[in-house]
Structure 1
């Protein structure tokens, strides 16, 4: 309740002006996953979405400025198909937005009119052509993770997924890098947020999700990076080093879930975990998601765990906690 009162108190006058404007104009703004969107399509739109090259990037915005000022401004040079304002938890904007026009001419007019435009005294904005990136890189995947498993997981936790290509990681030995392709820049941006860039663990291994760098793309496509080997040598499988083994009692939950999936002819469960809070007493709060190929929806939620020993990150313990919940939901509790 205190957090809610705090966020409502920030920039209250401009928030009220925005609310009044939406009521007067009947404009519908939808907020989801850290952004607020108008249109896509706007009222009265007929036909397909606009082609590539119709979107502009708007940067250096004052954080207390909202759509009641920005949409009329950018509509003055052309018909808007979509406007997306990136938002913070407190209700301020994050300083940038995207405007998509009905045609390329509208985008060119916006750049000509508003690049270096003074929206407030002493505050000029940047407006340029949006790169409309649609590809992400996911680095640090275990050599044992298959394309089929990843594809099934991504289709369940992100929208607009089109394809995946696996390469050897240029940064980590015996690891994989996946190039993920999405149907639009917006879909890719939402997938990047969902996959929690920079600090995600997939099946217990740390991976990094970011926009695909053009130079990296060129290097990968030149054939210099090939998928890592998963040959067996001396009875041991080559792959990314694993964390220290869990105690048998904890390991049992993961083994039971894997066995249950095999019995029901489902794919191997994939875990995504992120530590979002650490308490001084040693307890860690994790966001977790489990994707099981063959199950129609992923399992997800939050859990508190305490690492089983010194030097442990807690990710393995979080996997165990969520595995127990999944077993219960699937009608097979651990006894």
Structure 2
């Protein structure tokens, strides 16, 4: 558990300096840009990577230290669920010269008796290689799938060759962050919605690949014929779902969620026992769910909850992340199921009350 004294010091520093921090996707962010920033957003070469951080060091020590070199446009500290930091962070300066000065002055800076900071220029990787695609696949199809699974796709080109299994897609994203988020979901997305098993890795400029396939070209021009049965044609995409459907408030739902991009597939939620009804029978009445949407993305929702249960002296509190359903009603039905499962697990210790649908 994080030391209360460290948390109090962080909070006092934030209040004294009117600092705003926001946490999402495992990182706590300052700025991007900070209040009062004037001028354009930083370009390439302005970000530094900081590692070997003591786990109880937070922004009240790090931001003043790195601001001593130059004005920060953004500072991101990677956090885990226990409240400690994960040992690394990113600092973005207004110019490449300030970033270079941070590396020169702060690399090896001592924080604590046994920790010396490692500060270096951040590598902004923006390209992914999606491999082991069928030889019959075409570029428009791959582009449509990737844009449905991830945001920030700028271009897709297909590569083939004797040293490449099947066909590989070189995907260029608008930012490193967009590419990193896409890398987490592409493999499962192709497997679930296209019935294809693909590989995903970072692409470096030194990677040797062959010429891109031209539009409409079905097979590579070079390379020996593939052995075994030919791969089947990729599944046909379904028409996009409407995003204008009316939200029907589910029991305990606080209100509508922000809209998400329309997916190209339609996959209803699997049937599972109604844990909400089981909880109501267990308690004799339906407990009040206090739910609040704390963060949301195109494909997931983060919700905090508080439930007052009989025989428990204090409300059951926590948070969870769920995959978005096809409609808002599906999403909140899933949230209520998960909260009911956790409530049942609290009433019946040692039982598996929660369905394994959370991310």
- Normalised by the length of structure 2, the TM-score is 0.58
Corresponding residue for residue 195 of structure 1: 186
Corresponding residue for residue 153 of structure 2: 161
- On the 8 A contact 2:159/2:213 being kept in 1, the answer is yes
Of residues 131, 134, 143, the one that matches 1:139 is 131
The answer to whether the aligner puts 1:89 opposite 2:81 as a matched pair is: yes
The answer to whether the aligner puts 1:229 opposite 2:231 as a matched pair is: no
Q: Distance in 1 between matches of 2:147 and 2:233?
A: 27
- CA deviations on 1:191-246 (whole Å, 9 max, x unpaired) are 22343699965622222322213332xx12x5399987289x9xx9832799xxxx
Taking a change above 3 Å as real, the CA distance of residues 215 and 117 of structure 1, as seen in their structure-2 partners, is same
Point out the structure with the larger helix share. Answer: 1
Corresponding residue for residue 150 of structure 1: 142
Secondary structure of the corresponding residue to residue 20 of structure 1: helix
Taking a change above 3 Å as real, the CA distance of residues 203 and 119 of structure 1, as seen in their structure-2 partners, is same
Corresponding residue for residue 239 of structure 1: 231
Corresponding residue for residue 171 of structure 2: 180
Q: Distance in 1 between matches of 2:160 and 2:200?
A: 15
Corresponding residue for residue 205 of structure 1: 196
Of residues 42, 57, 61, the one that matches 1:50 is 42
Taking a change above 3 Å as real, the CA distance of residues 240 and 33 of structure 1, as seen in their structure-2 partners, is farther
Q: Distance in 2 between matches of 1:22 and 1:181?
A: 38
Taking a change above 3 Å as real, the CA distance of residues 11 and 146 of structure 1, as seen in their structure-2 partners, is farther
Secondary structure of the corresponding residue to residue 6 of structure 2: helix
Corresponding residue for residue 69 of structure 2: 77
Q: Distance in 2 between matches of 1:228 and 1:10?
A: 57
- On the 8 A contact 1:64/1:93 being kept in 2, the answer is yes
Secondary structure of the corresponding residue to residue 133 of structure 2: strand
Secondary structure of the corresponding residue to residue 11 of structure 2: helix
**How far apart are 1:111 and its partner, in Å?**
0.4
Corresponding residue for residue 116 of structure 1: 108
**How far apart are 1:70 and its partner, in Å?**
1.1
- On the 8 A contact 1:197/1:210 being kept in 2, the answer is no
Secondary structure of the corresponding residue to residue 48 of structure 1: coil
The CA RMSD over aligned residues, in Å, is: 4.1
Taking a change above 3 Å as real, the CA distance of residues 107 and 53 of structure 1, as seen in their structure-2 partners, is same
Unaligned runs of 5+ in 2: 241-260, 273-324, 330-359
Taking a change above 3 Å as real, the CA distance of residues 230 and 34 of structure 1, as seen in their structure-2 partners, is same
- Normalised by the length of structure 1, the TM-score is 0.62
**How far apart are 1:157 and its partner, in Å?**
3.4
Unaligned runs of 5+ in 1: 1-8, 243-254, 268-293, 306-324, 330-335
Q: Distance in 1 between matches of 2:9 and 2:269?
A: 36
Point out the structure with the larger strand share. Answer: 1
- On the 8 A contact 1:167/1:228 being kept in 2, the answer is no
Q: Distance in 2 between matches of 1:12 and 1:178?
A: 49
Q: Distance in 1 between matches of 2:169 and 2:189?
A: 15
- CA deviations on 1:138-160 (whole Å, 9 max, x unpaired) are 22233344322332233333232
- CA deviations on 1:112-166 (whole Å, 9 max, x unpaired) are 1111111111101111111211111222233344322332233333232211111
